[in-house]
């Protein structure tokens, strides 16, 4: 995965500022060359206002503390491991409050030890980042699991590697930490690639709305127009103006990742015919192939049901394969369309096919 561009990084800076990240470093990484790269990236995070706690796996944090000093980080050593109890958490908080980075040993040889999780929960950490060794990042059917809700972990299907880590990460989320990142600490630049991109390169277990489908807001319209412009120019989508979308604002929905819009769909109801049109379906090119289009279509179908519609249809001349072969929509004649919609289509001169399905 390429390093995120400057625009992507800048979008995340205000979002991260003031947040607290607990970073657990696996024991075998403490003597690795890759550790320095990770620390330099963490130092940049600290410079932009992220509050950090560095936790060395095991009973000794001296190596990790020494490396932070070599990297000229504003760090301070915590004299006792987290396994020693509440007084250590108080010491960590004291160092945080003076705008330094506490460096502390966990006191245990595991990723999600009780002391570290208790501290992260007590201090209301926003992220728990586990820098793992030996490529222990979970996969499903040998493919990355970029993000998964903690409530979905227990029922995840397929060939899952390191499922025990997923289950432990989900438990951490249930204890109040919104996001847990499992990263390959041997992968240089992994922190930047994970934190400053929408998809990431590791596995994130989350309990908040990382992925959301929500109504389009008026202030989103310029971004939506710029997003779909390429497909409009390529004659894959009908051209729409700001006024067109604003007039039917309540019919539009967007898919967001980390509050960034990456897709859209519209649901135009025809109450007299008890049917709805699925329109303006689009996923950013950089996010294709992850099932987001199917998710938007499923959302549109459910929204049509909620509106009391019994049939949903889509018009397309470029996505025939998608609607017919991927979504299994049947092909219909134009005579099945509501009269007004059929007239508009014929006047447009477009050679769109009609694809639809009954809604149960």
Starting at the edge strand found earlier in the chain, the sheet holding 51-56 runs 75-77, 101-105, 51-56, 20-25, 127-132, 179-184, 203-206, 147-149
* pLDDT at residue 5, as a whole number: 56
Residue spans of the domains in the chain: they are: 6-208, 212-358
What is the 3-state composition of the chain as percent helix, strand, coil, each rounded to the nearest 5?
A: 40, 25, 35
Fold of 6-208: Carbamate kinase (3.40.1160)
C-alpha 342/C-alpha 356 separation (Å) is 14
CATH of domain 212-358: 3.40.630.30
C-alpha 1/C-alpha 287 separation (Å) is 13
Q: Is 209 exposed, middle or buried (0-12, 13-18, 19+ CB in 10 A)?
A: middle
Q: Do domains 6-208 and 212-358 have the same CATH topology?
A: no
Strands 51-56 and 101-105, bridge-based pairing:
parallel
C-alpha 307/C-alpha 222 separation (Å) is 27
Structure-token match 């049947």, residue found: 330
* pLDDT at residue 275, as a whole number: 96
* pLDDT at residue 4, as a whole number: 55
Q: Is the pTM of this model over 0.75?
A: no
Q: Which of 287, 269, 286 is nearest to 278 (CA)?
A: 269
* pLDDT at residue 8, as a whole number: 61
Please name the helix (run of DSSP H) or strand (run of DSSP E) that holds residue 164, with its range, or none.
Answer: helix 163-174
C-alpha 356/C-alpha 169 separation (Å) is 41
DSSP string, 55-99: EESSS--HHHHHHHHHTT--EEE-SS-GGG-HHHHHHHHHHHHTT
DSSP assignment, residue 46? H
* pLDDT at residue 236, as a whole number: 79
Q: Indicate if the alpha-carbon torsion angle 185, 188, 191, 194 is positive or negative.
A: negative
**Contact present, 268 and 248 (Cβ < 8 Å):** yes
* pLDDT at residue 291, as a whole number: 84
User: Would you write out the chain's pLDDT as a tens digit for each of its 360 residues?
Assistant: 444 556 566 666 777 889 999 999 999 999 898 999 999 999 999 999 999 999 999 999 999 999 999 999 999 999 999 999 899 999 999 999 999 999 999 999 999 999 999 999 999 999 999 999 877 899 999 998 998 989 999 999 999 999 999 999 999 999 999 999 999 999 989 998 898 876 789 999 998 767 789 999 999 999 999 989 988 888 778 889 999 999 999 999 999 987 788 899 999 999 999 999 999 999 988 778 878 899 999 999 999 999 999 999 999 988 888 999 899 999 999 999 999 999 999 988 888 999 999 998
Buried b / exposed e over 93-110, threshold 16 CB at 10 Å, is eebbeeebbbbbbbbbee
Strands 252-257 and 260-270, bridge-based pairing:
antiparallel
Q: Is 324 exposed, middle or buried (0-12, 13-18, 19+ CB in 10 A)?
A: middle
> Assign residue 12 a region: left if phi > 0, alpha if psi is -120 to 50, beta otherwise?
alpha
């Amino acid at each position: 995965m390429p390093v995120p561009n400057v625009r992507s990084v800048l979008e995340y800076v205000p979002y991260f500022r003031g947040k607290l990240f607990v970073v657990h470093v696996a024991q075998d990484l403490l003597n690795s060359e890759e550790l320095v790269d990770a620390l330099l990236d963490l130092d940049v995070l600290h410079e932009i206002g992220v509050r950090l706690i560095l936790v060395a796996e095991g009973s000794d944090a001296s190596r990790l503390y020494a490396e932070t000093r070599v990297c000229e980080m504003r760090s301070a050593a915590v004299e006792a491991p987290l396994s020693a109890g509440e007084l250590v958490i108080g010491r960590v908080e004291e160092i945080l409050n003076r705008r330094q980075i506490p460096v502390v040993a966990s006191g245990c040889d595991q990723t999600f030890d009780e002391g570290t999780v208790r501290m992260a929960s007590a201090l209301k950490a926003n992220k728990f980042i586990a820098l793992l060794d030996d490529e222990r990042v979970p996969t499903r059917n040998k493919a990355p699991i970029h993000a998964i809700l903690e409530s979905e972990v227990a029922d995840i299907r397929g060939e899952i590697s390191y499922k025990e880590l997923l289950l432990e990460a989900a438990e951490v989320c249930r204890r109040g930490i919104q996001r847990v990142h499992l990263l390959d600490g041997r992968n240089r630049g992994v922190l930047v690639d994970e934190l400053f991109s929408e998809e990431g390169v590791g596995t994130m277990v989350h309990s908040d709305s990382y992925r959301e489908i929500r109504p389009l807001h008026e202030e989103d319209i310029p971004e939506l127009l710029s997003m779909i412009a390429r497909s409009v120019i390529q004659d894959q989508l009908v051209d729409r103006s700001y006024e067109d979308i604003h007039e039917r604002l309540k019919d539009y929905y967007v898919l967001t990742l980390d509050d960034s819009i990456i897709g859209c769909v519209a649901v135009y109801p025809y109450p007299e015919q008890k049917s709805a049109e699925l329109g303006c379906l689009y996923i950013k090119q950089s996010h294709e192939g992850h099932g987001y289009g199917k998710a938007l279509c499923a959302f549109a179908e459910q929204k049509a049901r909620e509106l009391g519609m019994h049939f949903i249809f889509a018009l397309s001349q470029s996505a025939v394969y998608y609607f017919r072969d991927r979504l299994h929509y049947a092909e219909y004649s134009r005579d099945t369309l509501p009269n007004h919609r059929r007239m508009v289509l014929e006047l447009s001169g477009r050679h769109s096919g009609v694809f639809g399905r009954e809604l149960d």
